[in-house]
Structure 1
Amino acid sequence: MSLTKPDERGLVVRLLKRIIAENGRLFLRQYSVAIVCLVLVAATTAFLAWIMRDVIDEIFVKQNRSAIVTLPVVVFLAFAVRGLATYGQGVILARIGNNIVARYQRRLFAHLTELSVDFFSENRSAHLAARINQNVSGIRDTLNLTVTTLARDVLSLIFLVFVMIYQDPVLSGIALLAGPPIALMIGGLARKLRSATRQSIDLNARVLASMQEAAQGISVVKAFTMEKPLRERIERLIVAAEERSNRIATITERTTPVTEIVAGLAIAGVIAYSGYRAIVYGYSPGSMFAFITALLFAYDPARRLAKLQVQLERALVNAQMIYEILDLEPRQSDRPGAPELAVTGGEVVFEDVGFSYYRNEPVLRGLDFVAPAGKTTAVIGASGGGKSTLVALLQRFYDVEAGRILIDGQDISTVTKRSLRQKIAYVPQSPYLFEGTIRDNIRLGRPDATDAEIEEAARLAQAEEFIVTQPNGYDTPLGENGVTLSGGQRQRLSIARALVRDAPILLLDEATSALDTRSETLVQMALEEASRDRTVIVVAHRLSTIVGADQILVVDGGRIVERGTHGELVDRQEGHYARFYGLQGREGRDPAARALADTVRP
């Protein structure tokens, strides 16, 4: 962010105020100690330049024997204090910086888990993770740059300039002529750096995200021989990221030659003029040496200050991108003072519910049905009919646009999301397993579950038979998303996780679609046992799995077009359900019917 434009200057000031307000008071004591150390560094640096006059005049000119003892001791003590202070501020600022990074990582993760599902639908997770990884250090760098600049570099420069002016005002004027041209150049470079830095962050995030996606989908990559096109795509991103990084390096380092040349001219001029005065007019060599020492010591803080705006620009761009995420408001937020959901029976009612993901493209249109408490309601229909949307709305992953959803007479939009979801156990169509052991993944359903309850849930889900064959049984670590397990095994662990939750409402979104015939039969028996005294809503893939449902709803075009029991719906010869059932019933005998059934399956 350029500091020259009024609107951008205001943005920088707001960012700095926010960063300091969020972190300054928390680390006030540590920063105070670090600032004291930095002041000592600045003071001892100026003192070393100051003492050079006495070193030259007293020892080399006047040949004062007592000074041979005292002055070296003083110089040694100054260096010792400077070294210890540098160590102290370095360790303190590093610890503060690491704590800031950890705090913002925790804060970001907590905030991301509060954001709505639609945020993750609109943003690629791999790109988001890579971007956060790059941005999170921006706030730490901003604070550290600000503290070290004010407490060390600015004070060092002020002290050293004071020494220079005290020793020789004329030479000081010559040396300080280097400041204005360097400041003008830095202002121009900072303006160019803002957009380049943001582009570089986005490109590097895309590179890391593409690599992560390729690793996650490696079996598909190899199965479809996608190695070459993926390599070419990532190569283009890497080249673009490299070019952008090179541009940033060019802009950032452009300060170095100009600073060196201008500073070199100033120092050379000072040496020439002071030497001329010492030779021609007999000026004290001690004063000249002290002045030149102060000038050389001042070069490092002046050079760092020259680069400050460029470095701060990059840090603030990263900080701003972090705050762009932290400032996002969840779209499904709880109402102020929202009560918790109280489930007595578990009756679920959809009243004239309408919903669309995109404007003018409705998915549900006036959906009306009642899922009785303690009963099983199955939902079938063609793909895109709104079955999975129904399940997502019941969990408030999205808010309805029309109508309302009730559980035991309570509108779910008026209760807390947490209490709502705690009363629901969910088995998705595509199971997802997390880092950790098999036991850890099942326990995620209910963190306070005992080992006995976890093992019971695994037995009910027909998962124990393969768990005990793993190297460490329930304590076997899983690969990424359980890659070492089959699809059916992952699904059974997902079902076990839902069963251990012991919630009054059970949602099954094609939960047996990844199972073979034997596993499906076993899991179906387990689900029937687990469904007792629970309200169950199941999105069905295979009609054979829902023949015992208390009611079956056929969804088409976002509406309920048929409802009834299996027997009632089969008797309607021209109905949707009867047609689906007829096709699936002939699958094993007629390949053409099987292919047709696959096209009309929900």
Structure 2
Amino acid sequence: MDRSQKQVKVLTVGNEKGLSLADGQERGHAFRLLKRVLAENGRDHIKGYAVAIVCLVMVALTTAFLAWIMRDVIDDIFVDRNPAMLLSLPLAVFVTFLIRGIATYFQGVILARIGNDVVARYQQRLFRHLTELSVDFFGENRSAQLAARINQNVTGVRDTLNLTVTSLARDLLTLLFLIGVMIWQDPVLSSIALLGGPPIAIMIAGLSRKLRKATRQSIDLNSRVVGSMQETAQGIQVVKAFTLEEPLRARTSLLVEAAEERANRIAVITERSGPIVEIIAGIAIAAVIAWSGYRAIEYGHSPGAMFAFITALLLAYDPARRLARLQVQMERALVNAQMIYEILDLKPRQPDAPDAPALHVSGGEIRFENVSFGYHPGEAVLKNISFTANAGRTTAIIGASGGGKSTLIALIERFYEPDLGNILIDGQNIAGVTKASLRQQVAYVPQQPTLFEGTIRENLRYGRMDATDAEIEAAARLAQAEEFILAQPLGYDTPVGENGMTLSGGQRQRLSIARALVRGAPVLLLDEATSALDTRSETLVQKALTEIMKEKTVLVVAHRLSTIVGADQILVVENGTIAESGSHADLVGRAGGLYARFHNLQASGQQVPEIDLAG
């Protein structure tokens, strides 16, 4: 077995192991899941489903009527040669097909509209729920794969509802009506024809259990394929720069091959019922034809009754075949629906406390009291941190990479909750206030600027949705962004492209700063906000920020000392603790201190990596 085959095997076998428990759980919860889907959607669409069901019943009745009327067509027209029937019977057949066609059209349109509405509602519900989940959820789940999985799963609820309605109202009723016609015509032949039902049901039950596991594996693998393609498209510059085309093609090919293998397995399982159903149906129909032909020859039974029975039997084949495959199709739909509910049932790990009040900021003082935090148990990033960022003042944070600087910012935003200790703003513990009110009082500029689909103006307005055009343009001028904005083809109304890919890194960062200024919040958090700017832009932005900082409480993470020399307080973070604190003048004067050493290296013009600060 070569390396590629081994990796494909790991992909598929690993998924089987990871999903074995879910397989057992789904068997126990299939009925409850179906009940939940019906309860959540049935009431809202009860009128539409009622009309669709009436149409489906009409389809079932007209199908049975066509089988029943065949006896009169054969006996009255072809045997008795009754001319009076030449108009009435063909007209009855035409009207039956007309009713059937109209009913089929309306049920199809109604169910399609209901299905589309269900998909749209679940897409909105999923998006709303995802935005409520904590940041750590997205750290544990790759966004590209998550989006691909949701895209595949969201139709599961629609398919579950439509399969339930069409199978019960059309296929089951059609089959029952046709069986009624068959029994009315000939009970003995009916018993022969129905002998194939039990073995088919037993076979389908076994196939559905295998299909459940294969479907989950296929969905997971397909989501990884789409996720890989999406990530490659988003990082195409890195792919080209590092000539990663071949390695990424090889990796994606393995995923595609594994997904193909699962899809082939699903096809084998799904279609396995076909030959058996066809064989059993063929035996039943052949036996009926032989027996009815024997009685017609030996005992002179009416050919009309025999023809009507065979017509009913042949018409019953399609709904019977669909019902035989119903459990297989329902399993696939329920697996998709279950995977949607697995996301919807996730609870945010940082819910607001019951009856939590809103945060009221008067000055904006931020105080850390013995705060400890780690992203993983037993791996502390921050250790017993305590400091105060005075209201209306600037506090700068510097330190080695991985020392916990950005984590301090994340904790203030409540992206995560501290393991120990408290964080207070104006004396209010932020863990006890609503997250929405906290974040409304904070403007945030991340280390990696993020822009959304839309125009430059729309992206700046995300800072505060009720901001006027004048406020947006004023913020852009302060962030030294207006010059390049007006140089764009449509100015402020220029689309930014996917995540702002049509703009340079410095331009995206200036728009991110402008968006934070639009927010107008009393607390401003800058996580290396000028790291992507050239020297000229950094100088201009720093000058603008200096004016803005005078009226706000500012926490700024930086590694270039030139951007923080004017800070009221500087905190030097090392290994999750505050090693030094004070003003620039105080820290420079401490011979042998971390800050003083770093300052001397930068002042000498050396390019010092951030990690050397603790070296």
Superposition TM-score tier, normalisation by shorter sequence: over 0.9
Residues 372, 517 of structure 1: CA spacing in aligned structure 2 closer, same or farther, 3 A cutoff?
same
* CA deviation after TM superposition for structure 1 residue 6, in Å: 9.3
* CA deviation after TM superposition for structure 1 residue 540, in Å: 1.2
d(CA) in 2 for partners of 1:385 and 1:108? Answer: 35
Give 3-state SS (helix, strand or coil) of 2:374's partner. Answer: strand
Give 3-state SS (helix, strand or coil) of 1:594's partner. Answer: coil
Match of 1:423 in 2: 441
d(CA) in 1 for partners of 2:24 and 2:457? Answer: 57
Match of 1:600 in 2: 613
Residues 597, 273 of structure 1: CA spacing in aligned structure 2 closer, same or farther, 3 A cutoff?
closer
1:69 to 84, 87, 92: 87
2:276 to 258, 266, 270: 258
1:521 to 523, 528, 539: 539
2:381 to 360, 363, 373: 363
Match of 1:379 in 2: 397
Match of 1:590 in 2: none
Give 3-state SS (helix, strand or coil) of 1:358's partner. Answer: coil
* CA deviation after TM superposition for structure 1 residue 532, in Å: 2.2
* CA deviation after TM superposition for structure 1 residue 188, in Å: 1.1
Q: How does 1:194-233 map to 2 (within 5 A)?
A: 194-233=212-251
Deviation by residue 1:19-67 (Cα, 9 ceiling, x = unmatched): 0110010111100000000000001100110111111111111122221
One-letter code of the match for 1:255?
S
Give 3-state SS (helix, strand or coil) of 1:178's partner. Answer: helix
Residues 209, 340 of structure 1: CA spacing in aligned structure 2 closer, same or farther, 3 A cutoff?
same
Task: Note if 1:185 corresponds to 2:198.
Answer: no
Task: Note if 1:338 corresponds to 2:356.
Answer: yes
**TM-score normalised according to structure 2 size:** 0.95
d(CA) in 2 for partners of 1:253 and 1:569? Answer: 75
* CA deviation after TM superposition for structure 1 residue 600, in Å: 3.0
Deviation by residue 1:259-290 (Cα, 9 ceiling, x = unmatched): 11110111111111111111111000111111
Match of 1:10 in 2: 28
1:305 to 323, 330, 338: 323
Match of 2:495 in 1: 477
* CA deviation after TM superposition for structure 1 residue 599, in Å: 3.6
Match of 2:6 in 1: none
1:248 to 249, 263, 266: 266
**TM-score normalised according to structure 1 size:** 0.97
One-letter code of the match for 1:378?
A
* CA deviation after TM superposition for structure 1 residue 359, in Å: 1.1
Match of 1:538 in 2: 556
Contact 2:601 2:608 in 1 (8 A): no
d(CA) in 1 for partners of 2:408 and 2:437? Answer: 19
d(CA) in 2 for partners of 1:580 and 1:166? Answer: 98
Match of 2:340 in 1: 322
Deviation by residue 1:521-549 (Cα, 9 ceiling, x = unmatched): 00001111221211000011211110111
Contact 1:377 1:538 in 2 (8 A): yes
RMSD: 1.4
Contact 1:460 1:526 in 2 (8 A): yes
* CA deviation after TM superposition for structure 1 residue 191, in Å: 1.2
Match of 2:255 in 1: 237
Residues 562, 220 of structure 1: CA spacing in aligned structure 2 closer, same or farther, 3 A cutoff?
same
Q: Taking every aligned residue pair, what percent have the same amino acid on both sides?
A: 71
Contact 1:380 1:555 in 2 (8 A): yes
Contact 2:366 2:425 in 1 (8 A): yes
1:561 to 579, 588, 592: 579
d(CA) in 1 for partners of 2:609 and 2:326? Answer: 68
Contact 2:399 2:610 in 1 (8 A): no
* CA deviation after TM superposition for structure 1 residue 9, in Å: 4.4
Contact 2:475 2:518 in 1 (8 A): yes
Contact 2:496 2:502 in 1 (8 A): yes
d(CA) in 1 for partners of 2:526 and 2:610? Answer: 21
Match of 1:36 in 2: 54
d(CA) in 1 for partners of 2:336 and 2:533? Answer: 46
* CA deviation after TM superposition for structure 1 residue 478, in Å: 1.1
Contact 1:580 1:601 in 2 (8 A): no
Residues 601, 454 of structure 1: CA spacing in aligned structure 2 closer, same or farther, 3 A cutoff?
farther
Deviation by residue 1:476-519 (Cα, 9 ceiling, x = unmatched): 11111111211111000000000000000000000001111000
Contact 1:583 1:596 in 2 (8 A): no
Q: How does 1:11-160 map to 2 (within 5 A)?
A: 11-160=29-178
Residues 9, 238 of structure 1: CA spacing in aligned structure 2 closer, same or farther, 3 A cutoff?
closer
Contact 2:559 2:610 in 1 (8 A): no
d(CA) in 2 for partners of 1:558 and 1:420? Answer: 25
Give 3-state SS (helix, strand or coil) of 2:579's partner. Answer: strand
* CA deviation after TM superposition for structure 1 residue 332, in Å: 0.6
One-letter code of the match for 1:112?
L
Task: Note if 1:442 corresponds to 2:442.
Answer: no
d(CA) in 2 for partners of 1:362 and 1:599? Answer: 21
Residue-pair matches, total: 595
Deviation by residue 1:166-211 (Cα, 9 ceiling, x = unmatched): 0000110111011111111111111111111000000000000000
Contact 1:40 1:85 in 2 (8 A): yes
d(CA) in 1 for partners of 2:401 and 2:432? Answer: 31
Match of 2:593 in 1: 575
d(CA) in 2 for partners of 1:70 and 1:508? Answer: 85
d(CA) in 2 for partners of 1:533 and 1:541? Answer: 24
Contact 1:34 1:88 in 2 (8 A): yes
* CA deviation after TM superposition for structure 1 residue 340, in Å: 0.6
One-letter code of the match for 2:318?
D
Contact 1:349 1:370 in 2 (8 A): yes
Residues 7, 126 of structure 1: CA spacing in aligned structure 2 closer, same or farther, 3 A cutoff?
closer
One-letter code of the match for 2:522?
P
Give 3-state SS (helix, strand or coil) of 2:357's partner. Answer: coil
d(CA) in 1 for partners of 2:250 and 2:573? Answer: 44
* CA deviation after TM superposition for structure 1 residue 10, in Å: 3.3
d(CA) in 2 for partners of 1:314 and 1:361? Answer: 41
d(CA) in 2 for partners of 1:41 and 1:453? Answer: 62
Contact 1:583 1:597 in 2 (8 A): no
One-letter code of the match for 2:430?
I
Contact 1:19 1:143 in 2 (8 A): yes
* CA deviation after TM superposition for structure 1 residue 373, in Å: 0.6
Deviation by residue 1:298-320 (Cα, 9 ceiling, x = unmatched): 00000000100100010000000
One-letter code of the match for 1:50?
W
* CA deviation after TM superposition for structure 1 residue 84, in Å: 0.6
Residues 537, 597 of structure 1: CA spacing in aligned structure 2 closer, same or farther, 3 A cutoff?
closer
Contact 2:400 2:610 in 1 (8 A): no
One-letter code of the match for 2:557?
V
Residues 207, 493 of structure 1: CA spacing in aligned structure 2 closer, same or farther, 3 A cutoff?
same
d(CA) in 2 for partners of 1:556 and 1:124? Answer: 30
d(CA) in 1 for partners of 2:399 and 2:586? Answer: 17
d(CA) in 1 for partners of 2:320 and 2:503? Answer: 61
d(CA) in 2 for partners of 1:595 and 1:367? Answer: 26
One-letter code of the match for 1:529?
E
* CA deviation after TM superposition for structure 1 residue 601, in Å: 8.3
Residues 428, 6 of structure 1: CA spacing in aligned structure 2 closer, same or farther, 3 A cutoff?
closer
d(CA) in 1 for partners of 2:59 and 2:388? Answer: 75
Task: Note if 1:281 corresponds to 2:299.
Answer: yes
Give 3-state SS (helix, strand or coil) of 1:83's partner. Answer: helix
